[in-house]
Structure 1
Amino acid sequence: MSKREKQAIGQQILAAFRAAGAQEVAPDILLEAETLLDLYGEDIRARAYVTQDPIRGEMMLRPDFTVPVVQMHMANGAEPARYCYLGEVFRKQDHGETRPEHPRDNEYLQAGFELFARDPEADAEVFALFHDILAPLNLQASMGDMDLLMDAVRALPLSGARRAALLHHIWRPRRFARLLARFATPAEARSFPESGAPWTGLRSPAEMQARIDRLRGDAAEAPLAPQWVERLERLFAIGAPAPEALRQLRELVAEIPDIAEAVDRLERNLAALAARGIDVGAVHFDASHGRHTMEYYDGMTFSFAAAGHEDWPPVASGGRYDALAAVLGQAQGRSIPAVGGIIRPGLVHELGGQILGKAA
């Protein structure tokens, strides 16, 4: 497949985004790494191409469009706006010392749409836009809600430090499961004998003492009751057509009242999608969906995947990232909710997507 063919599909998608009122932008390919790498999360940090500039310091090839677009918007104001873009992103895909038989592209094209709005129906608008563009490809639409999971973790009767640790690893299911299991068993007391030897190491004496104090405090914590572990595991395992998932979540609200607001929001989003002509019964709701997406998503997440191509990444994906917008706007005292997503024109072309849906 030539770059020209991918670009042609990308331009069709871009036209659909412009028709939805988006202004086209083109973030730099080479970005300052220091601030941005901290915002991407561990997965993208490990896969970014980073280099050293003698004057500008650490720089990286653009691994994503959302963060630089948000950075641009929050620097210029926090008013409602919508943007679109088309260009390459760069990520290390393959780990290990040998080249895989079917390597994934380290450089690939993305077309994206970002909506900054205080409209409660923004989630439904963005999902419906992507759904309509991709409709002829008969993709499987899936959605989740990271706020739902984070509210459930925040409701656990644990210390702030333990809740923070679980929230930090919520995008890493195996680590999260190990941590939850450890918190559900009595902590082992740690011995820290007094010594007259000088402090040594990369950390300062104050940092090391703070770490010792945290470990001592953690050892004194009571284990998490089994019913809370069971409730959390049931929540994370919910996967069903969206209306059925909503019913299961309603039942869980009685046991985890803190998720009620997120469940109400899901119900409103599904109603808004149905009003836009989308069959919500064909949308798969996976409570853990957002745990496999970008770490800056903190609300609704969505993806569109090609059946029979389980080894592919999603053809399209996105979600809500209010906290990211708030972090990048805090220096100017600005904040506005935001939601967006990307489509991979290369995968659309491989599926024969020469003509996109009604949104195009």
Structure 2
Amino acid sequence: MSLLSETHAGLASLLETAGFPRVEPAILQPASLFLDLIGEDIRGRMFLTAGPDGEEMCLRPDYTIPVCRAHLDGEDARTPARYSYVGKVFRQRSQGAPEFLQAGVECFGRDDLEAADAEILALGLDSVRHLGVDDADVRIGDEGLFRAVLEALCPPAAWSRRLGELFGETDRLEAALAVMGASEETGSALPATPTLARVLEGLDPAAAKGAVAELLGLTGLRPVGGRSAADIAERLLEQASLSAQDPATVRAAELLSRYLKISGTPRAALAEIEAFAAAQGLDLGTAPARFAARLEALEARGIAADGMSFSASFGRRLDYYTGFVFEIHSSSRPHAGHIVGGGRYDRLLSLLGASEPIPATGFSIWLDRI
């Protein structure tokens, strides 16, 4: 066990007593784990080296992915499991030391999703109280609700994929919706579409692939970056789709923008979302009922719904999150950033190689912000 201060050792004990045994994944991790899941943007923040066989390695920049990987390497990844950690992570940062302490928990395999989410948030609040934060400000969001609205509006597949990837990055999402809702009638400038993309528009994927392959053969050009003719055709068709405008796409952009402005106490926001969906004839499936069930589970644990704030646009910036998300701030230190961040990330273990979906939820505590 690493050397911890008395306060942090007490936090480790609190998490273990709550039923989350402590684990300590290796500090040196394959860099591809993070680059594949988070993207090349994180490369500049990692400390990189090479392993004996030339594999690119890094000092772990967080715990969640290594804990998930270690769980999958166990005997039966389908068996429900809980883990906690308190230790060092390593990131190059513009402010703060590059080596700092992080704590948190991960919970895998529970089918009672809303009850598990409530337990995780309750434990996060217990943790910050242990650390002396007595003015917790809880902010929540729900990617499941956003996805339900997106699915009900049925935008073109390229837009659905693009908007789903941007959820949680408010400025970029708003900019994308502005382009999606642009039209000649509104006087807004549409993005230029490459000529080849316009030519390919309307072709089925197989025909588009054949056309690109023939063009490459005639010109003698070679694809760059390891991309195949199919990759190039898919990208060009996506560009054409993103540039195409029709009344349904413009309406979808306008309604999504309206939805993302909904905020307030969770129950009031849920009522507004349900009224919005009814007025627009949108079927949101089970998402509103699951949101309400989560609020009931939180209140059963003594967490008042009216004591939290909800924003329809709030999401975690990592695209493996799938549902409930939250942050805990200190209301007396609003500029310090979130102290705790977490939520539901049911996609992550599948992305790491799980043979079947495994429910997952958890949180991380940024100890150097306290």
TM beyond 0.5: yes
Distance 1:334 1:56, change over 3 A: farther
Distance 1:54 1:171, change over 3 A: farther
Paired AA for residue 316 in structure 1: V
Paired residues in the alignment total 334
Paired AA for residue 211 in structure 1: R
**Is 1:9–1:345's contact at 8 Å kept on the other side of the alignment?**
no
**Is 2:148–2:285's contact at 8 Å kept on the other side of the alignment?**
no
Q: Is 2:299 the counterpart of 1:307? A: no
What are the residue-to-residue correspondences of 1:1-360 with 2, within 5 Å? Answer: 7-41=5-39, 44-76=42-74, 77-94=77-94, 103-116=95-108, 117-120=110-113, 121-135=115-129, 137-186=134-183, 190-192=194-196, 197-202=219-224, 203-216=227-240, 218-220=242-244, 222=246, 224-254=248-278, 255=280, 257-291=282-316, 293-330=317-354, 333-348=355-370
**Is 1:143–1:300's contact at 8 Å kept on the other side of the alignment?**
yes
RMSD: 2.6
Three-state SS of the structure 2 residue aligned to 1:304 is strand
**Is 2:259–2:312's contact at 8 Å kept on the other side of the alignment?**
yes
- Residue deviations 1:59-90 (CA, integer Å, cap 9, x gap): 11111111111111122222111111111111
- Residue deviations 1:65-124 (CA, integer Å, cap 9, x gap): 111111111222221111111111112222xxxxxxxx2232211111111112231001
Q: Which has the higher contact order (CA 8 A, sep 6+)?
A: 1
Three-state SS of the structure 1 residue aligned to 2:57 is strand
- Residue deviations 1:146-205 (CA, integer Å, cap 9, x gap): 122222223333221221122122233333222222222356564238795322451444
Structure 2 CA distance for aligned equivalents of residues 46 and 146 of structure 1:
28
Unaligned runs of 5+ in 2: 184-189, 200-214
Structure 2 CA distance for aligned equivalents of residues 299 and 83 of structure 1:
20
Paired AA for residue 121 in structure 2: F
Larger mean Cα displacement after TM superposition, 15-24 or 180-189: 180-189
**Cα distance, 1:50 vs structure 2:** 2.4
Three-state SS of the structure 2 residue aligned to 1:141 is strand
**Cα distance, 1:281 vs structure 2:** 0.8
- Residue deviations 1:191-223 (CA, integer Å, cap 9, x gap): 238795322451444543443444445555535
**Cα distance, 1:321 vs structure 2:** 0.6
Match of 2:208 in 1: none
Structure 2 CA distance for aligned equivalents of residues 262 and 285 of structure 1:
15
Unaligned runs of 5+ in 1: 95-102, 349-360
Three-state SS of the structure 1 residue aligned to 2:158 is helix
Larger mean Cα displacement after TM superposition, 53-62 or 296-305: 53-62
Aligned-pair identity in percent equals 32
Paired AA for residue 123 in structure 1: D
Match of 1:358 in 2: none
Distance 1:113 1:217, change over 3 A: closer
User: TM-score, structure 2 length as denominator?
Assistant: 0.81
- Residue deviations 1:270-301 (CA, integer Å, cap 9, x gap): 1111111122211111222214x443221111
Structure 2 CA distance for aligned equivalents of residues 256 and 314 of structure 1:
36
Structure 1 CA distance for aligned equivalents of residues 41 and 272 of structure 2:
31
Paired AA for residue 239 in structure 1: S
